[in-house]
Amino acid sequence: KAGVTQTPRYLIKTRGQQVTLSCSPISGHRSVSWYQQTPGQGLQFLFEYFSETQRNKGNFPGRFSGRQFSNSRSEMNVSTLELGDSALYLCASSSLLGQAITDTQYFGPGTRLTVL
C-alpha cells in the first residue's frame, strides 16, 4: 500500500503571498489531519477532515484553511503569508472508521515552507 504523499516537498514564498499544499492519504483512509511543526513547538494541530467535512480545528488564524475532496485527498491553503508561517507542514491519514481517535495516524514526509 502506498503511503501518505505530500506535494510539493519544498516551497519558497514571500510575505503576503498565498500557498496551497496537497496531501494524498493512504488508499481507504478517510481522515486527514494537518499539523505545523516548528522548532521548539512540536507538532501543532491545524485541522482534521473526514468525509469532506472539517471535524476538528486547532488554534490557528483564519488565514489557514483546508478542504477535502470526495477521493479523500486534501489541500491546505495559507493566505497572506507571514515570516512566522515558515515551518514543516505535515499531513496524516487514518482509517478512523468510527469516532475513536485511537486509530493510528500515518504521516507523510511533509512540505517544508519557507517564507522570505
Partner 1 sequence: DQQVKQNSPSLSVQEGRISILNCDYTNSMFDYFLWYKKYPAEGPTFLISISSIKDKNEDGRFTVFLNKSAKHLSLHIVPSQPGDSAVYFCAASGGNEKLTFGTGTRLTIIP
Q: Which of 43, 75, 79, 86 binds partner 1 (CB under 8 A)?
A: 43
In the bound state with partner 1, the residue whose beta carbon lies nearer, of 39 and 70, is: 39
Please provide the DSSP assignment of the chain as one string.
----EEE-SEEEE-TT--EEEEEEPPTT--EEEEEEEETTTEEEEEEEEETTEEEEE-S--TTEEEEE-TTS-EEEEE-S--GGG-EEEEEEEE---SS-TTSPPEE---EEEEE-
Q: How far is the CB of 108 from partner 1 (least distance, A)?
A: 5
Q: Which of 34, 35, 50, 64 binds partner 1 (CB under 8 A)?
A: 35
Q: How far is the CB of 102 from partner 1 (least distance, A)?
A: 5
Residues of this chain, 48-107, that bind partner 1 according to CB under 8 A = 48, 56, 58, 90, 92, 101-102, 104-107
Q: Quote the CA–CA distance of 46 and 65 in Å, as a whole number.
A: 9
Where does this chain bind partner 1 (CB under 8 A)?
Answer: 4, 33, 35, 40-45, 48, 56, 58, 90, 92, 101-102, 104-110
